[in-house]
Structures are given as structure tokens and as C-alpha cells.
């Protein structure tokens, strides 16, 4: 009988023992189950977000780099770095203050400072560099106080002509066409008559104000002609007249 009461007494003691450790263990287990790992960082997403704030610009006049930087700074656009410079072409990456792509593309694209404006993305810089390296010749005509035709053209080494008509032309906007083999051969022959680097940087008379400028870029050299007088070498006159003759036949201007 004593053994029976002793057994009951020990059983009661075991039932009344504190259960704090067990609850704590269960609580920790539940806590561990509900912990969430921090989100992983997607490097590609970071790169895309970075690209979305950047534009790639091809400068219209490589000699105006400092003025272009000043223009961008005054516009609230940050010049990040120059990624290409071969003397006749410069390409830069800039950072825009917000993600209004259309606004900045139009604003900078319509500026006379840039030949090309693109949103930065994978391979954009590389593709533009390849295009500039493949350029045979560029020619840019600026305006005057009158109705002087204003346009840009670029001829690549395969004879593809990219034209952009601006003012006082019959064809405004961008057009593209292929030179004939004969036309491309003739242009190359005219370019090879005299080393382009031997020409003066500028042919001008500063005393005459109302003159259009012609900028011809080839082989790392830019030549600016404001006054077509006897000082201008025959090779440049011949080249200019031949290219304009092709554009006149296309009825891009009169």
C-alpha cells in the first residue's frame, strides 16, 4: 500500500514540473521557421537601372568638346566619360537627371551639338564605335543669314550615305542611299590625290560675317571652309563639288 501511495506522489511531482524550457524550444523553432532570407541582388537589374539614366552621344564637331561639356552642364546633364576619340569623331556617355528618355532624346537630338543620341544599353557604345571607325568621310553644312542649305552627310567605306536635311533643303530629315561603285571609287580617288592632313584647319576671312561653313572630316582631320576663294586647294573644291552634285541629282536641295 505504501508503495502505491509513493508511486502516486512521484507521478504528481512529475506532472507539476515547470515546462519553460520546452516552450522556449518550441518558440525558437517557430521563430526559425518564419525567418525570411534577405532578397538576392540582381546585378543585371542594377546594370539596366544604371543604363536607363545614361545616353550615348556622338559629337557633331570634335573640336567643340569643351563647349559641348559646358552646354551639357548648363542643361543639367552630367558628362561621365569619353569612350572614343579618333580626331574626327568623339563619343561620350552622359548621365541624365531623371528617366525622361523621350524628353532628353528629343532635346539633345535636336541640338546642333550632336550627330547621334542613343539611350545607353548593352553593345550601344561598341556599335557606335564600329560605325564611326567605318566612316570614310563626313560633311556638314551650317547656315547663314539667308537661305543656305543646312545638312549633314556621312559616307561609310562601303558607300552607304546617311543624309540629314535640316533647313532650306527639299528633303528634310534622315535619308539613306547607296553610292554606285563608280561614285565610291571616284570619291576615294579624289581623297587620295593629296594627303588630307596637309590641308589647313580653316579657310576663312573673319571680316566677312554672313558666310555658311562647310566642315569636311576625313582620316582624323577636320577642315572648315567659310570662304571658297583661291586659297582653298583645288582638291577640296573638286571633292566638295562632286559630293554636292550627287545630292543635287537626288533632289535633296536646289
Residue ranges of domains in the chain, CATH in brackets: 45-131 (3.30.70.80), 134-249 (3.30.1560)
pTM value? Answer: 0.73
Express each pLDDT in 200-237 by its tens digit: 999 998 888 889 999 999 999 999 999 898 999 999 99
Residue 196 to residues 125, 169, 189, 210, 231: CA-CA distances in angstroms? Answer: 28, 28, 12, 27, 15
Beta bridge partners of 176: 162
Beta bridge partners of 59: 114
Question: Does the pLDDT value for residue 9 go beyond 70?
Answer: no
Rounded mean pLDDT, 72-97: 92
Element (H, E) at 244: helix 234-249
Express each pLDDT in 35-44 by its tens digit: 444 444 344 4
Predicted local distance difference test score (pLDDT) of residue 99: 63
Handedness of CA 215, 216, 222, 226 (dihedral sign): negative
Predicted local distance difference test score (pLDDT) of residue 52: 62
Question: Does the pLDDT value for residue 29 go beyond 50?
Answer: no
Rounded mean pLDDT, 101-120: 87
Rounded Cα gap, residues 27 and 12, in angstroms = 26
Amino acid at each position: 500500500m505504501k508503495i502505491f501511495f509513493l508511486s502516486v506522489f512521484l507521478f504528481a511531482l512529475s506532472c507539476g514540473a515547470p515546462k519553460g524550457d520546452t516552450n522556449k524550444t518550441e518558440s525558437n523553432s517557430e521563430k526559425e521557421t518564419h525567418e525570411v532570407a534577405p532578397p538576392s541582388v540582381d546585378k543585371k537589374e542594377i546594370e539596366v537601372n544604371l543604363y536607363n539614366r545614361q545616353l550615348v552621344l556622338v559629337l557633331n564637331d570634335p573640336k567643340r568638346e569643351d563647349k559641348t561639356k559646358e552646354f551639357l552642364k548648363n542643361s543639367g546633364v552630367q558628362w561621365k566619360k569619353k569612350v572614343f576619340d579618333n580626331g574626327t569623331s568623339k563619343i561620350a556617355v552622359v548621365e541624365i537627371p531623371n528617366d525622361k528618355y523621350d524628353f532628353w532624346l528629343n532635346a539633345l537630338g535636336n541640338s546642333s551639338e550632336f550627330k547621334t543620341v542613343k539611350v545607353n544599353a548593352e553593345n550601344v557604345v561598341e556599335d557606335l564605335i564600329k560605325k564611326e571607325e567605318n566612316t570614310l568621310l563626313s560633311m556638314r553644312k551650317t547656315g547663314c543669314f539667308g537661305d543656305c542649305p543646312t545638312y549633314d552627310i556621312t559616307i561609310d567605306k562601303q558607300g552607304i550615305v546617311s543624309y540629314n536635311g535640316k533647313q532650306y533643303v527639299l528633303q528634310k530629315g534622315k535619308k539613306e542611299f547607296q553610292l554606285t561603285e563608280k561614285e565610291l571609287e571616284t570619291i576615294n580617288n579624289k581623297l587620295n590625290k593629296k594627303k588630307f592632313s596637309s590641308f589647313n584647319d580653316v579657310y576663312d576671312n573673319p571680316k566677312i560675317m554672313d558666310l555658311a561653313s562647310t566642315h569636311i572630316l576625313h582620316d582624323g582631320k577636320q577642315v572648315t571652309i567659310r570662304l571658297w576663294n583661291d586659297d582653298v586647294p583645288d582638291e577640296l573644291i573638286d571633292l566638295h563639288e562632286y559630293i554636292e552634285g550627287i545630292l543635287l541629282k537626288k533632289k535633296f536641295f536646289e
